[in-house]
Amino acid sequence: MAPVLELRGITKRFPGVLANDHIDLTVEKGEIHALLGENGAGKTTLMNILYGLYHPDEGEIFVNGQKLDVHSPIDAIKSGVGMVHQHFMLVPVFTVTENVMLGEEYVKAGGILDRTKAANKIREISNTYKLDINPDAYISDIPVGMQQRVEIIKLLFREANILIMDEPTAVLTPQEVEELFKIMHTMIEKGKSIIFITHKLGEVMEIADRITVIRGGKVVGSTSPAESNLNDLASMMVGRDVNLEVEKSESVPGEVIFEVENLKVLDPMGALAVNDMSFKVHAGEVLGIAGVQGNGQTELVRAITGLLQAVDGEVRLCGQNITHLSPRKITEIGSAHIPEDRQKDGLVLGFPIADNLVLNTYYLEPNSKFIWIDQKSINENGKKLVENFDIRTPSPFVPVSNLSGGNQQKVIVAREFSRPIKFLVASQPTRGLDVGSIEYIHKRLIEKRDEGCAILLVSTELDEIMQLSDRIAVVYRGKVLDILEAKNATKELVGLLMAGIIPSEEEKQKLLAKKKQILMT
Amino acid sequence: MEKTTENKKKSLSVFWDEFSSSNFLVILLAIFTGILLGGVLVAITTNEVYDAFRVSIWSGLGTALRTAWNTYVALFTGSVGDPEKIRLAFASGDQLAIRRAINPFFESLVQSTPYIFGGLAVALGFRAGLFNIGVEGQIFIGAATGVWAGYAIEGLPTIIHIPLAMLFGALGGALWGFIPGLLKAKTGAHEVITTIMMNYIAFRLVDWLLKFPMKDPNEFTPKTPWILETAKLPRLFDTPIRFHIGFFIAILMAVAVYYLLFKTTWGFELRMVGSNPNAARYAGVKITKTTILAMVLSGALAGMAGANEVLGVNYRLLPAFSSGYGFDSIALALLGKTHPLGVILSSLLFGFLRNGARSMQLAVGVPIDIVSILQAVILAFIAAPAIIRTIYRLREPKHKEDLVSLRSWKG
């Protein structure tokens, strides 16, 4: 039998870039085929070609052995190819049913929408694939994970057989990822095929049946989880040996730099998001805040950087009470902040890189004199930092929106690290980044620690917390459940705490013994 | 390359990057297409064309072309001047004839002046992320305060009286901008709604001022007294040319706005707030202060437009003296890409069109509405570059992997 999908020699050129260079890809029925590659490797271009958004310069596409000529997403959907985009395309004020129907409306006599019929079909699909979706819910009321499932339903509703999922886990919490994987398994059991685009190695190993690795627009290898391991995949993807482990020495903690005492912060809805948190961060150590997303981390970070007013408690930096100071004052005392959402808070996308590199120091010498911006000095600084921090760009004067996610993050890191700081809050510093950038940013964080900076690392990636932290504070529902020494922490133990379960001393010892055993063997 | 030239290139490139990369051609083509369409419009609204079509197709088409041509000739001579007339006038050496011949050009500049002030007001607001619809109202208030300073404050030398009267105009407009700015910063009230409401208050308030406290007691209709000689913006030529130094003040303000936006720390903050308020807050900028200040400055510029009209052209305030300068300013600020230089250029376009429209009406009998339609068509084409790109089969500006618009509402 012919494979369900076959791409032969797909080539796509953009001015100055060869985005896809004779790519061959074969997807069999009922398999999850992972397309692995760094940001900018050409994965998305390839999928946009398959989905009819771009037309290839060369190459052919076959679906079930039939040559296919796609000119628009409508052609793609007709031939059974559907795509779940990284950013959802849903109308928030519409219900699930209405969103699913959009573009393929069921109508009764007289042109009236037949919502009931559509809702029934959605219910049916939802039951078949265990999606657990209420067709009458409004999109704006349901969580991100559910919204993604609505996107999936949209495709199943149109009877897609090949589902392209573009970085589907980027926006999900760990639990939602688990659930998504279950759904993906159900779908392939029912005979669908899935192309899973990602740069996260762990997920590929967990779920893929086959793996195709793309680098620089070319297929560099094809393998399966059984035949491969994390390090091989990483090297294949990046094109050089990658050290997934973070090399770091024992920390040498100094005095207490940063202190939070009985802090209480409200979320925008007025609920207590941070409920009586207390912890300390010493010079030269990384305190990791572990926890599932939405357990108060966002509000905690916003409160200690002055972006949100705490309702109670105290925050001290270098012995100074900063609880009610403005963001600028806090920055001036020597605090740096890598924000959770780099595009929303950390950068002005329309500004040149050089200007973004002085976003919070533009008013200081030598960037300005009196009221005048010294563009020359800002540009010099930009050139210097672009070089020092290896920001990949043709020039420091192009808008920062032209950069890839990893390089945008490097701009923020460069900006925050290039001024004298004593304390750093790094919130999700590697979210959505490729392996190379993650490695780079981890290295820089540890360097900063070794220089004596106190670092508060907030991350929902358990691996990241385990690799970088010297101590780990686990937060659950706005409270610090426990603070562990990194050497006494295991993934299982932190995982339990993240789920809100406080293990007894006995259980702790058991988990620890297990860790020691693993270390010995 | 030398550092200084590189730096110069950078400051200019702020404008050119936005203006020329793809849009400049589009703007030129939009103007061209608008003029073409306007010609068709003129032809189909002229009775003679229909009469000619009754004779034969060819005479119909000929008449249509001739009508359109005559109209644009009238537009040109009305806004720039009649080259033949100018030549003859200079040949004769008669000073009055020369002034009459070159008057259309200078009159267009006079018409452009309030547009420059108003366009700068809107552009400054835009750069701070504020949609100042209230320019028209701020013009009225600025005219009222400016004219008051012009006739009520006596005994000042010109050198002090003029700046003082302009300042009064600016202050009046600034106050009218301050209120929506304060409301936005403190309560989140959207400036579009509040500035529209402030417009109505301004119109009626000025009506009342003209009928009662500021009315010239010697007049029957509501008018203010004439401003004093010392407050009049000096004219550069004798009658009939009304061209006055207000134009240069406007250009000076454009330069000032350019420096403010792109060369000062405060402009950096303002643009940051306008482009990404979240990042601005993160960077320690006080959003409320910046918002209020931007509205105050925007209002002040608009107020200067009003003061400029009463101090330089009318010398007194009459009801309904500004025929939509403030609203046109919104359109031309966008046309000028909210850059001071762009605002000057688009203000000139608007001023010349507006001035030429009158002679179109007088010379060829084309209704002034056609010119308004012409402006509207040009703007519509600029606002929707996709139309122009489709008509002329232009390429999309840039081919980039993620240019395909897949933006989600979650951002």
Q: What's the ipTM?
A: 0.81
Q: In this predicted model, what pLDDT tens digit does every residue of A415-445 receive, in sequence order?
A: 999 999 999 999 999 887 778 888 899 999 9
Which one-letter DSSP state was computed for residue A239? T
Q: Do B184 and B291 form a contact (C-beta atoms < 8 A)?
A: yes
Note whether A255 and A271 are same-domain residues: yes
Q: Within a domain: residue B308?
A: yes
**Paired tokens of B345:** 């250029």
Number of domains in chain B: 1
pLDDT (tens digit per residue) in A161-184: 999 998 888 777 777 888 899 999
The crossing angle, in degrees rounded to 10, of helices A405-417 and A435-450 is 10
State the virtual CA torsion across A41, A45, A51, A54 in degrees, nearest 10: -170
Domain-terminating residue out of A391, A419, A447: A419
Rounded to whole angstroms, the Cα distance separating A366 from B343 reads 32
Whether residues A295 and A390 share a domain: the answer is no
Same domain, A136 and A255: no
A449 plus A432 within the same structural domain:
yes
Q: With contact defined as beta carbons under 8 Å apart, do B123 and B336 qualify?
A: yes
Report the CATH number at residue A156.
3.40.50.300
Residues in chain A within 8 Å Cβ distance of B273: none
Residues 267-296 of B with CB under 8 A from A: 267-268, 271-272, 275-276, 278-286
Query: pLDDT band at residue A1, thresholds of 50, 70 and 90?
Result: low
The residue in chain A having the minimum alpha-carbon distance to the alpha carbon of residue B404 is A53
Nearest to B116 by CA among B247, B294, B289: B247
Based on the domain organization, do A396 and A435 belong to the same domain?
Answer: no
Cβ atoms A134, A165 nearer than 8 A: no
Contact pairs from chain A to chain B, CB under 8 Å? 108
Residue A87: per-residue pLDDT: 77
- The per-residue pLDDT string of chain B (411 residues; one tens digit each, 9 = 90 and over) reads 344 455 555 555 555 555 544 567 777 888 888 888 888 888 888 888 898 899 999 999 999 999 889 888 988 999 999 999 999 999 998 999 999 999 999 999 999 999 999 999 999 999 999 999 999 999 999 999 999 999 999 999 999 999 999 999 999 999 999 999 999 999 999 999 999 999 999 999 999 999 999 999 999 999 999 999 999 999 999 989 999 999 999 999 999 999 999 999 999 999 999 999 999 999 999 999 999 999 999 999 999 999 999 999 999 999 888 778 999 999 899 888 899 999 999 999 889 988 888 778 887 777 777 777 877 887 777 667 777 777 777 665 543 333 333 333 322
Q: Do A413 and A426 belong together in one domain?
A: no
Q: Are residues A200 and A51 in the same domain?
A: yes
What is the layout of strands, in order, in the sheet containing A32-36? A81-84, A162-166, A193-198, A32-36, A210-215, A218-223
Q: Say if A510 falls within a structural domain.
A: no
Give the range of the structural domain holding residue A302, as residue numbers without chain letter: 245-334+421-487
DSSP string for A386-419: HHHTT---S-TTSBGGGS-HHHHHHHHHHHHHTS
Per CB-CB distance under 8 Å, the chain A contacts of B400 are 14
Of A14, A349, A373, the CB nearest to B401: A14
pTM of this prediction? 0.80
Within a domain: residue A94?
yes
- Tell me what pLDDT residue A437 has: 84
Looking at beta carbons, which residues of chain A come within 8 Å of B286?
326
CA distance A309 to B4: 46
- The tokens for A44 are 């998305």
Report the pLDDT value the prediction gives residue B405, as an integer from 0 to 100.
Answer: 30
Residue B68, domain member (yes or no): no
Residues of A in contact with B267 (CB under 8 A): 373
pLDDT at res. A37: 86
- What residue type is B164 in one-letter code? L
Least confident of A205-209, A354-358, A507-511, B41-45: A507-511
A103: left (phi over 0), alpha (psi -120 to 50) or beta: left
**Which of A54, A48, A52, A50 lies closest to A85 in space, CA to CA?**
A48
Burial label for B182, CB within 10 Å (0-12, 13-18, 19+), is middle
- Among the partner-chain residues A343, A359, A375, the one whose CB lies closest to the CB of B283 is A359
Min Cα distance B370 → chain A (Å) is 38
Whether residue B263 and residue A372 make contact (CB cut-off 8 A), yes or no, is yes
Say what the pLDDT of residue A106 is: 83
Task: Return mean pLDDT, chain A.
Answer: 90
Distance (Å, rounded) from C-alpha A496 to C-alpha A89?
35
A451 vs A317, A423, A455, B389, CA distance in Å? 18, 11, 11, 55
- At residue A326, φ and ψ (nearest 5 deg) are -80, 160
Q: Which domain holds residue B338?
A: 111-347
As a whole number of Å, the end-to-end CA separation of chain A is 47
Neighbours of A521 (CB within 10 A): 5
CA A398 from chain centre, in angstroms, equals 25
| pLDDT at site A424 | 97
At residue B20, the pLDDT reads: 46
SS3 content of chain A, % helix, strand, coil (to 5): 35, 25, 35
Interchain pair B276, A307: CB under 8 A: no
Same-domain check for residues A34 and A175: yes
Q: Give the number of other CB atoms < 10 A from CB of residue A330.
A: 24
Helix orientation angle between B95-127 and B135-152, rounded to the nearest 10 degrees: 130
Strands A256-266 and A312-317: antiparallel
Chain segment A248-296, per-residue pLDDT in tens? 888 889 999 999 999 999 988 888 999 999 999 999 999 999 988 788 9
Q: Is the peptide bond before A339 cis (omega within 30 degrees of 0)?
A: no
- In this prediction, residue B22 carries a pLDDT of 54
Test A307 with B409 for CB contact under 8 angstroms. Answer: no
Count of structural domains within chain A: 3
Same domain assignment for residues A115 and A252: no
So what's the pLDDT on residue B396?
Answer: 57
Q: How far apart are CA B171 and CA B296, in angstroms?
A: 9
Show which of residues 99-158 on chain B sit within 8 Å of chain A, judged by CB atoms.
none
Q: Per residue in A182-193, pLDDT tens?
A: 999 999 999 999
Verify whether the Cβ–Cβ distance B284 to A397 is below 8 Å.
Answer: no
Q: What is the mean pLDDT of residues A443-470?
A: 93
Same domain, A188 and A290: no
A344 touches chain B (CB under 8 A): yes
For residue B28, being part of any structural domain is answered with: no
Spatial neighbors of A120 by CB under 8 A, at least 6 apart, are: none
Interface contact A360, partner B, CB < 8 A: yes
- DSSP letter (8 states) at residue B188: -
Q: Which residue of A345, A355, A373 is in closest CB contact with B263? A: A373
A266 domain residue, yes or no: yes
Place of tokens 């012919």: A2
Minimum-distance CB partner of B404 among A53, A86, A362? A53
Does A102 touch chain B if contact means CB atoms closer than 8 Å?
no
Smallest Cα distance from B5 to chain A, Å: 11
More confident residue, A326 or B369: A326
Which pLDDT value is given to residue B401? 32
Does A24 share its domain with A168? yes
Q: Is A408 left (phi over 0), alpha (psi -120 to 50) or beta?
A: alpha
Do A94 and A210 fall into the same domain? yes
Within a domain: B378: no
Q: Which residues of A touch B272 (CB under 8 A)?
A: 348, 351, 359
A308: left (phi over 0), alpha (psi -120 to 50) or beta: beta
The reported pLDDT for the residue numbered B165 is: 97
CB-based contact (8 Å) between B266 and chain A?
yes
Select from A361, A393, A419 the last residue of a domain.
Answer: A419
Which residues are CB-contacts of B390 (< 8 A; sequence separation ≥ 6)? none
| Better-predicted residue by pLDDT, A44 or A333 | A333
Amino acid at B391: I
